[in-house]
């Protein structure tokens, strides 16, 4: 059985080269399991359009819309506005105080979602109003509330994923996720990308809603068909260890910790970082004081293909992550798909992919540069088995397997 039309909401995909790069893996498999896949992005990162399968259509209704004034939307949907706001207001004493104190901010968020709903409802009434169709919200925030209203109006099926920044209150200065109760009540299925996220969301809702919350890992392409012996022998020409890190250069990722740890490193080593951001100059200033034994490259933002080509063509000895917040990083899935061990902070869903003695080493979140330097030395001395890491990847993060399971779960639960 196939899904009819699958309407996928994204932030920017397939526009631009940066946004939601990991969706490229999922789109290929989703498109084979539905008659038509419609992508509705919230905005354009750029005019660059990534390659998409033939039965995938991009609908720019939101990008090209005429934005209505908040006052006009509020007057038109006042009753709906009050119902949703009061549902969140009286969820708990904490929520009551929060939504009263932040009335202006969260009224604006809700009006924004109602404005999206206003533009989408006619599109759905004309094109997508069928019980065979499914709305798929890729994130547990943008579009989701407006899609809950569409679901109720047209009796459609609605599913969503929940990742990290869109799920945890800690990513929002410990403020409750906006209108979470309304969203959770009205979704048919919620797929968290980690078991940690699954347990977290269940702790924030009622028993009835817990029955619709599942874990569905993301995944990346398998490299298991590489001739492993020749691949690893070829790359044993490294004269000194090669470590990499992947992620935006922002305070949350704490990439400066890696640079500071390497200031203390006495042996020869090469560090390559993929990613860019506001802290680039800060990190460059640290790197400029490295001793001659430290070779480094700050690659900046690169496409997913350039990253995977690098992993394929070089023997990377270790992936290092110092981020203080991660859901379950796709960058780590890419690493273990090439048999690369990892060193990472034990935060949120990371322990589901960095498994001690199997795929890497976990560190305390409150690590300092000296401790990190010692951990890097320890990890490089450990005899991690590439075949063991690859087997773990195939079992848990092979994109073909995971996305086919995802589709089968949707069909089983909704049809």
Q: Determine contact, residues 326/164, Cβ cutoff 8 Å.
A: yes
pLDDT given for residue 238 in this prediction: 76
* pLDDT of 392 over the 70 cut: yes
* pLDDT of 277 over the 50 cut: yes
Helix or strand or coil: residue 363? strand
pLDDT given for residue 403 in this prediction: 97
Tens of pLDDT along 67-89?
999 999 999 999 999 999 999 88
What mean pLDDT do residues 268-287 have?
97
Q: Is the peptide bond before 14 cis (omega within 30 degrees of 0)?
A: yes
The residue that leads in pLDDT, 19 or 187, is 187
Give CA–CA dist 213/202, Å, rounded.
7
Q: How confident is the model at residue 91 (pLDDT cuts 50, 70, 90)?
A: confident
Assess if CATH 3.20.20.140 describes domain 228-396.
no
CATH number, domain 3-219+399-414, options 3.40.190.10, 1.20.120.1200, 3.40.1000.10, 3.40.50.2000: 3.40.50.2000
Buried b vs exposed e over 28-46: b needs ≥16 C-beta within 10 Å? bbbbebbebbbbbbbeebe
For residue 274, give the nearest of 301, 309, 305, 304 by alpha carbon: 301
Tens of pLDDT along 181-200?
999 999 999 999 999 999 99
pLDDT given for residue 306 in this prediction: 92
* pLDDT of 230 over the 80 cut: no
Q: How confident is the model at residue 304 (pLDDT cuts 50, 70, 90)?
A: confident
Mean pLDDT of the chain: 92
**Mind spelling out the 3-state secondary structure of 39-107?**
EEECCCCCCCECCCCCCEEECCCCCCCCCCCHHHHHHHCHHHHHHHHHHHHCCCHHHHHHHHHCHHHHH
Tens of pLDDT along 117-126?
999 998 887 7
Q: Do the domains spanning 3-219+399-414 and 228-396 agree at the CATH topology level?
A: yes
Tens of pLDDT along 126-163?
788 778 899 999 999 989 999 999 999 998 999 999 99
**Domain limits, the chain:** 3-219+399-414, 228-396
* pLDDT of 325 over the 70 cut: yes
* pLDDT of 234 over the 80 cut: no
Q: How confident is the model at residue 224 (pLDDT cuts 50, 70, 90)?
A: low
* pLDDT of 235 over the 80 cut: no
Structure tokens of 293? 């034994």
């Amino acid at each position: 059985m196939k899904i009819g039309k699958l309407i996928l909401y994204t932030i920017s995909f397939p526009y631009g080269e940066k946004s939601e790069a990991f969706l490229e893996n999922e789109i290929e498999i989703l498109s084979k399991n539905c008659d038509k896949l419609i992508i509705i992005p919230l905005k354009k990162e750029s005019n660059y359009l990534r390659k998409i399968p033939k039965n995938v259509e991009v609908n720019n209704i939101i990008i090209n819309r005429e934005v209505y004034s908040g006052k006009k939307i509020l007057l038109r949907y006042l009753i709906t506005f009050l119902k949703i706001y009061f549902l969140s207001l009286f969820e708990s004493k904490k929520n009551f105080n929060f939504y009263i104190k932040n009335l202006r901010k969260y009224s604006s968020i809700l009006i924004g979602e109602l404005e999206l709903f206003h533009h989408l409802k006619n599109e759905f009434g004309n094109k997508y109003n069928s019980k065979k169709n499914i709305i798929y919200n890729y994130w547990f925030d943008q579009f989701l509330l407006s899609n809950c209203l569409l679901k109720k109006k047209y009796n459609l099926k609605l599913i969503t994923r929940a990742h990290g920044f869109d799920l945890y209150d800690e990513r929002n200065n410990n403020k409750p996720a906006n209108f979470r109760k309304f969203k959770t009540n009205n979704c048919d299925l919620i797929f968290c990308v980690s078991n940690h996220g699954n347990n977290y969301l269940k702790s924030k809702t009622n028993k009835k809603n817990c029955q619709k919350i599942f874990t569905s890992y993301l995944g990346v392409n398998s490299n298991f068909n590489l001739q492993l012996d020749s691949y690893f022998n070829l790359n044993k020409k490294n004269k000194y260890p090669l470590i990499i890190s992947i992620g935006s250069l922002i305070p949350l990722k704490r990439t400066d910790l890696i640079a500071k740890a390497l200031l203390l490193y006495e042996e020869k080593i090469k560090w390559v970082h993929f990613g860019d951001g506001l802290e680039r100059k800060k990190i460059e200033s640290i790197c400029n004081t490295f001793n001659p034994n430290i070779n480094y490259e700050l690659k900046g933002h690169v496409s997913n293909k350039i990253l995977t080509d690098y992993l394929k063509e070089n023997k990377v000895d270790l992936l290092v992550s110092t981020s203080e917040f991660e859901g379950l990083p796709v960058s780590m899935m890419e690493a273990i798909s090439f048999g690369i061990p990892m060193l990472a902070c034990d935060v949120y869903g990371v322990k589901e992919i960095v498994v001690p003695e199997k795929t890497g080493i976990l560190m305390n979140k409150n690590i300092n540069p000296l401790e990190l330097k010692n951990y890097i030395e320890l990890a490089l001395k450990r005899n991690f088995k590439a075949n063991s890491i690859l087997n773990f990847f195939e079992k848990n993060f092979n994109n073909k397997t995971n996305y086919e399971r995802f589709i089968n779960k949707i069909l089983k639960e909704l049809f």
